[in-house]
Structure 1
Amino acid sequence: MTEIHTPRLLLRRWTADDLPFMADINADPQVMRWVDDGSVYDLARTAEAIEEWEEEWDEEGFGLFAVELLGSGELAGFTGLSVPHFLPQVLPAVAISWRLGAQFWGQGYASEAAHASLEFALQDRGLDRVISVSRVGDSASDNVIRKLGMVPELETTDPVHGYALQVHAIDLTEFQA
């Protein structure tokens, strides 16, 4: 089982116990504001998402980690890697992403988890390059992207929802572990 420990977090695979906590995160309109069309996910949609994330682990050897606080054991959300099939012009690519519950914002957890995931991608999984796709205007994600050392590469439009997207990238030679 793949696990990563950071000073404050455990990044791990998903368990059945995570479902209600991730469903609560996905049911928050504030959290989901920048995701897809901004709609919240119910319990069934969250269960489907977790199943998809676990399938990607099995198929690709990487995926989205559940992010757990070491001190309390609370599920804070996710971070990790996925293939951005929704954006064909960046393929083949692997993207890093994150989503945390609002109560965990502003404490550096997203940056800490994303940095560990990026290190995992470039050093453990041997990827040469990782991208991040964010909606234009999502300043919180932009802050994490900047802290990761990723640089702007492409501006495009979401092919389904029509909003502006910014693609950032980093390669192994630019990464600071």
Structure 2
Amino acid sequence: MSLSVEVETPRLVLRQWRAADREPFAALNGDPQVTEHLLPLTARESDALADRLAAGIDEHGWGFWAVEAPGVAPFIGFVGIKPLAPILPFAPGVEIGWRLARAYWGRGYASEAAQAALRVGFDQVGLDEIVAFTVAANLRSRAVMDRLGMKADPGLFDHPAVPVGSPLRAHVLYRIGRDDWRKPGAGDGNLDGAVVAAA
């Protein structure tokens, strides 16, 4: 199903990527605190990732949107949903992910945007389930997934894109179904400052 979606929340706009987003995105991806649990990216690799995410939005009408905070900053990172990479052992499906610049942690932006992205996935796209995954040691992101109302699968999986022997290879998988998301109180926790890897 294709949509033409630009998502607005009380404080944020989730939108298609712009050329001006590349420089702050590369800076975000060069911040060791933001990328503590991610494979490092060069500026060129960061630009290529932005191009892939933009192409995914063009294709589907939804994806990992660039996030703007009007009156605060024209670009603070990305939040959204996108199809899983085929190499993942639990593909096909759709993942939710987010990555915000450190300067915008602590303001509740991730919570606001992630809930909007889930709403698009379940109410507009019609998905039955959305998953998230992160490095097993990334306790901050795992807590975020809990607050979204997601539940962890037992055990771990090795991310096939991460080199064997890397401490970032072991990942945990979380899920939330549409029926659980609709339950009163589901996902009402405050998501903030989380970093979830994008494939």
Q: TM-score, normalised by structure 2?
A: 0.80
Aligned residues: 174
Q: Which whole-Å CA distance do the structure 1 matches of 2:15 and 2:58 have between them?
A: 14
Amino acid at match of 2:159: D
Query: Helix, strand or coil for the counterpart of 1:175?
Result: helix
Q: Which has the higher helix share?
A: 1
Residue 138 of structure 1 deviates from its aligned partner by: 1.1
Q: Does 1:12 align with 2:11?
A: no
CA distance in 2, matches of 1:133, 1:96: 9
1:22-61 equivalence runs, <5 A: 22-35=25-38, 37=39, 39-42=40-43, 44-61=44-61
1:172 aligns with 2:178: yes
Residue 106 of structure 1 corresponds to 106
**Identity, % of aligned pairs?**
33
Whether contact under 8 Å (2:5, 2:61) holds in the other structure is no
Please tell me whether the aligned partners of residues 27 and 41 of structure 1 are also in contact (alpha carbons under 8 angstroms): yes
Specify every segment of 5 or more residues in structure 2 that has no aligned partner in the other structure, as ranges: 187-199
- Give the distance between the partners of 1:141 and 1:79, measured in 2 at CA: 13
| 3-state SS of 2:179 partner | coil
**Which runs of 4 or more aligned residues in structure 1 lie more than 6 Å from their structure 2 counterparts after TM superposition?**
none
The TM-score with structure 1 as length reference comes to 0.90
The whole-number CA distance in structure 1 between the counterparts of 2:81 and 2:143 is: 18
Equivalent residue, structure 2, for 1:2 = 5
- Higher RCO (Cα < 8 Å, 6 or more apart): 2
Tell me if the contact between 1:77 and 1:99 (Cα under 8 Å) persists in the aligned partners. yes
Paired with 2:137 and 2:163, the residues of 1 have a C-alpha distance of: 15
Amino acid at match of 1:79: V
Q: RMSD in angstroms over aligned alpha carbons?
A: 1.8
For the 8 Å contact 1:156–1:165, the answer to whether it is kept is: yes
Taking the aligned partners of 1:121 and 1:81, their CA distance within structure 2 comes to: 7
Aligned residue number for residue 122 of structure 1: 122
- For 2:133, the equivalent position in structure 1 comes to 133
Q: Which residue pairs with 1:153 in the alignment?
A: 153
TM-aligned CA distance change 1:167 to 1:60, over 3 Å = same
Distance in 2 between the 1:87 and 1:30 partners? 27
- Give the deviation of 1:87 after TM superposition: 4.5
How far the C-alpha of 1:115 sits from its partner, in A, is 1.1
Retained in 2: the 8 A contact 1:85–1:91?
Answer: yes
